[in-house]
Structure 1
Amino acid sequence: MDNLTHSLVGALLGQAGLKRKTGLAMPTLIIAANIPDIDAIAVLLGGDEHLALRRGITHGPIAMVLLPLLLWGIMLWYDRWQTKRGARPEKRLPVDAKWLLMLAYIGCLSHPLFDWFNSYGIRLLEPFSSQWFYGDTIFIIDIWLWCALIAGVWLSLRGERRGQPSWRVPAITSMAAIILYIFANGLITGRAEQLTGRAVQSQFGIVPAMVVANPVPVQFWKREMLWRDSNHYGQGVFSAPDQVVLDPKIGQHEMSNTFALAELSKDKNAKAFLFWSRMPVLREELREESKVRILSDQRFGNPLVQDRFRVVVPTEQDAK
């Protein structure tokens, strides 16, 4: 998910009552909810190699043990440093080391959970396994999730400032609504994949090896449907509860072209892209009298983002 969502999740956990457990609880929860994204530094590598590094080692089990410990140590040091300088805020609660550590773990663990909900993918077991996991449940930037999170945090903060004893209730209510929203979207995704698989078989006589219900912005009741078998791929649209409309056009993804794949494996950007890609598509194109191979991913076919998720590789002959 985007970092605003992660930050709001940390803030909501704090407003649900966890912020009263120890001093520095709220900043610890918010920072912890974002800290696995330190892998964003990989974009400095340039090219497309960063795709193979994102949502991997810093989102895996070792990181989930070490990152909260690192943050915990920094927050303890910060509190002591402020105390020595006489700059520690008087209203800050005493720091309870055990609770602070627990909150660092809670905030940090919320990050891979919410990242798993979308179709971008996450390697939950890295470095023990490089398998990608996909929730296909909510769009990577979900405005309805934002609304629920902001409302819960804001109403809870307002109640707290007014001295209302029930100031935690809006945050807890928002949390319950978010759980129901995510669960409902999971049911929509499951239904969409089931019906689309049947529709592809009925309309094209193809039993798809993979069907993906790709969440779309704003319209949470809809899915961009993507399907493929060993040679073909196609798409469609699903609208809850049971409407499936398939695009009559079918393409060949060329992932069985062993010669082309062998050549692509020699290119570092293409190799990284293929490691990251869930539904790769390969096509050849003539550019200025030179033939190039273009790698893309079905999930990111929207013209607004497709340029960010494709690799152009000269053929072996042109590269020389």
Structure 2
Amino acid sequence: MEPVTHFMTGAVLSRSGFNRKAAYATLAMTLAAEAPDLDVLWSLKGPVAGLEYHRGWTHTFLGVPFEAAIVTGAVWLIHRLLQRRAMPRASHYGEPDPPVRWMRIYWFSVIALLSHILLDWTNNYGVRPFFPFNPRWYEGSIVFIFEPVMFLLLLAALTAPALFGLVGSEVGARRSPYRGRGWAIAALTGIVGLWSLRFVERQKAMELTRQAGLRQEQIVRMTADPFPGNPFRWQTVTETPLAFQVARVNTLTGEVSSSSQADVYYKPPSTLAALVAKRSWLGHVYLDWSQFPLVNDIGETEDGLTTVTFRDLRFLYGTSILGRDGVPLAGTVFVNGDRRVDHMEMNGHIQR
């Protein structure tokens, strides 16, 4: 998921009751809920390095205990800084503040870190939670990387208590401590309900695609990928021995839309340049991650370099805007006349 959703998830989790058990629970859980995405710093070494290490060890069960310790240490430093500056923690309207309990902060951070892995599993990019013991990618593919319904539920859980608190203060109502627990629990319950609906609709989208019989060949495998906002709109990718076919499915109406020309991608032959590209750094990383890779040798450039493109058919969103060659998470390897890699690009950015 995108960062703001992760941050808000940590804060809402804390408001569901954890913030009553230990001071700094909300701070720790909010930070921990987004901490695994610090691996984006690998992108400073180039786009291929970013692809290789994104959702790496920071998104694994093995890394969670160490990340929780780092988050707890960061909160401890903030606590010490506040003490040195003699800055008291905010009181809760005459109610006693929860005590500072570092072991609880540590375990609350573990819970928030696990929420990050769970949320990333729900989209179609995937995670490797058992790495390095099991390098397999797992993806639920039930929500888009940005899901508006989830976002609004989390936002409501964080803002509604404050708004209703303002209304209550105008009429002289007593402001209760730790407001928002009911809103937080309702938002989390709503998200689980949304996931359940999307899981059912995803299975239905694949079944409708099978019934449509778009390909007369034997189906090797199939996936369905979500669109944002609408739980009844899906993109399916069907693999057969000779080709891939993309379709758009509306599970509410049962409509399956696919062009026998524009939406069919025949598996290209393995040219010498394509084989060189597959053995490159980008090729190795991309094929390790991609679930439905399409590797095309599209010929020579004016500089005499052979261009080999890497695309994953799960990410053909917005092709009417970006164009067929503007697929997100696409890579390119340029092979020279000596059949060596000249340079590599990811999403148009050159790996230095």
Partner of 1:248: 260
In structure 2, relative to structure 1, the CA distance for the partners of 1:123 and 1:258 (3 Å cut) is farther
User: For the structure 1 residues 319 and 263, does the alpha-carbon distance in structure 2 shift closer, same or farther, using more than 3 Å as the test?
Assistant: closer
Q: Encode CA deviations 1:250-279: one digit per residue, 9 max, x unaligned.
A: 22133x738555312332222222222111
Judging by fraction of residues, say which structure has more helix. Answer: 1
**What is the distance in 2 between the residues matched to 1:160 and 1:25?**
22
Contact 1:118–1:140 (Cα < 8 Å) also in 2 = yes
Counterpart of 2:123? 118
Where structure 2 has 5 or more consecutive residues not aligned to the other structure, the ranges are: 92-96, 169-174, 341-352
CA distance in structure 1 between the partners assigned to 2:214 and 2:121 by the alignment: 32
Which one is further off, 93-102 or 144-153? Answer: 93-102
**Is 2:222 the partner of 1:207?**
no
Once superposed, what is the RMSD of the aligned Cα atoms? 2.3
- Give TM-score scaled by structure 1 length: 0.90
2:248 partner SS: strand
One-letter identity of the residue aligned with 2:294:
V
1:174-227 CA-to-partner distances (Å, cap 9, x unmatched) read 11111101110011111111221332xx33212222211111123221001111
User: Letter of the aligned partner of 2:312 in structure 1?
Assistant: D
Give yes or no for the alignment of 1:297 onto 2:346: no
* Cα distance between partner residues in 2 of 1:50 and 1:90: 40
Residue of 131, 134, 142 corresponding to 2:139: 134
In the alignment, is the contact (CA less than 8 A) between 2:305 and 2:336 conserved in 1?
A: no
Unpaired segments of 5 or more residues in structure 1? none
**Residue 126 of structure 1: CA displacement?**
1.2
**Partner in structure 2 of residue 64 of structure 1:** 64
Range moving further from structure 2, 178-187 or 39-48: 39-48
Question: Aligned to 1:235, which of 243, 246, 252?
Answer: 246
Shift of 1:164: 4.9
Do structure 1's residue 192 and structure 2's residue 205 form an aligned pair? yes
Moved more, 291-300 or 142-151: 291-300
CA deviations 1:2-58 (Å, max 9, x no partner) are: 011101111111222222221111111100100011111111121323212111211
Between stretches 66-75 and 128-137, larger displacement belongs to 66-75
CA separation of 1:109 and 1:46: change in aligned 2, threshold 3 A: same
* CA distance, structure 1, for counterparts of residue 328 and residue 43 of structure 2: 12
2:305–2:337 CA contact under 8 A, matched in 1: no
8 Å contact from structure 1 (residues 283, 295) kept in 2: yes
In 2, Cα distance between the equivalents of 1:78 and 1:203? 59
Could you say which residue in structure 2 is the equivalent of 1:40? 40
Tell me how far apart the structure 1 counterparts of residues 4 and 184 of structure 2 sit (CA, whole Å): 17
Q: 1:171: how far off?
A: 1.6
Q: 1:318, 1:225 → 2: CA distance? A: 39
Of 106-115 and 240-249, more deviation after overlay is shown by 240-249
| Equivalent position of 2:160 in the other structure | 155
**Does 1:20 find its partner at 2:32?**
no
Using the TM superposition, name which of 153-162 and 224-233 deviates more. Answer: 153-162
- Kindly provide the CA deviation profile for residues 93-116 of structure 1, in whole angstroms up to 9, marking residues without a partner as x: 431223212211111110000000
Structure 1 stretch 135-144 or stretch 273-282: which is displaced more? 273-282
Residue type matched to 2:337 in 1?
Q
Task: State the Cα distance separating 1:72 from its structure 2 match.
Answer: 1.3
CA contact (8 A) 1:116 1:134 kept: yes
Once residues 141 and 9 of structure 1 are traced to their aligned partners in structure 2, the CA distance between those partners, rounded to angstroms, is 13
Q: Which amino acid aligns with 1:8?
A: M
Match of 1:220 in 2: 231
Match of 2:74, as an amino acid?
A: I
- Select between 274-283 and 92-101 the one with higher mean Cα deviation: 92-101
Structure 2 counterpart of 1:44, one-letter code: L
Offset of residue 245 of structure 1: 2.3
TM-score normalized with structure 2 length: 0.83
Q: Classify the secondary structure of the residue corresponding to 1:212.
A: strand
CA–CA distance in structure 2, aligned partners of residues 77 and 45 of structure 1 = 29
Contact kept in structure 2, 1:6 and 1:34, CA below 8 Å: yes
What letter matches 1:31 in structure 2? L
- Does structure 2 retain, via aligned residues, the 8 Å contact 1:210–1:227? yes
2:249 and 2:256 in contact (8 A); partners too: yes
The Cα shift of 1:292 comes to: 1.7
Q: Which residue does the alignment assign to 2:100?
A: 95
